[in-house]
């Protein structure tokens, strides 16, 4: 793992089934996430996805790449936009720094139009090699 390494991107199309399953897993049953009429009545232009689901996709990108979720020590991000049914979310990232076996990753999640959904996302992971140096 070296500074500048690109993390393989993850893409997911957001389906109603995805939002309903996430609601069940998270306990967030706010109808704005699955009921079109409710979302419209609430002043939205349709159902919106859970912010934490977008963050979960950022986390999945990291754990898929490092292969062991136990190597991820921290992850954070800023929710900067909403997404809707049918949107395709893409998570990208790169290694920003590696020092003493610990890597800092920079990540972001955007929709198909390039609208940032999760920005300023960072993760700290064990690189797996104590000889890694910032390069």
48-100 per-position pLDDT tens digit: 999 999 999 999 999 999 999 999 999 999 999 999 999 999 999 999 999 99
Say what the pLDDT of residue 130 is.
Answer: 47
Confidence check: pLDDT of 104 > 60:
yes
3-47 per-position pLDDT tens digit: 999 999 999 999 999 999 999 999 999 999 999 999 999 999 999
Say what the pLDDT of residue 129 is.
Answer: 60
CA distances from 39 to 22, 29, 46, 109 (A): 17, 13, 5, 23
Please name each of the domains of the chain with its CATH number. 6-126 (3.10.129.10)
The share of the chain scoring above pLDDT 70, in percent, equals 95
Whole-model pTM: value is: 0.89
20-31 per-position pLDDT tens digit: 999 999 999 999
Confidence check: pLDDT of 135 > 50:
no
Output the six-digit token pair for 53.
């689901």
Say what the pLDDT of residue 110 is.
Answer: 98
Angle formed by the axes of helices 16-26 and 51-66, to 10°? 90
Which distant-in-sequence residues (6+ apart) come within 8 Å of 21 by Cβ?
Answer: none
């Amino acid at each position: 793992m070296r500074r500048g390494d690109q993390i393989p991107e993850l893409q997911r199309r957001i389906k109603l089934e995805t939002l309903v399953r996430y609601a069940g897993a998270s306990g967030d049953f706010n109808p704005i996430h699955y009921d079109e009429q409710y979302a419209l009545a609430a002043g939205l232009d349709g159902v919106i996805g859970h912010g934490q689901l977008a963050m979960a996709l950022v986390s999945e990108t990291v754990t898929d790449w490092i292969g062991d979720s136990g190597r991820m020590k921290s992850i954070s991000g800023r929710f900067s936009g909403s997404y809707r049914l049918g949107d395709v979310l893409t998570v990208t990232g790169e290694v920003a720094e590696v020092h003493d076996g610990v890597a800092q990753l920079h990540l972001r999640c955007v929709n198909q139009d390039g609208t940032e959904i999760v920005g300023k996302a960072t993760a700290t992971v064990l690189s797996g090699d104590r000889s890694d140096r910032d390069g």
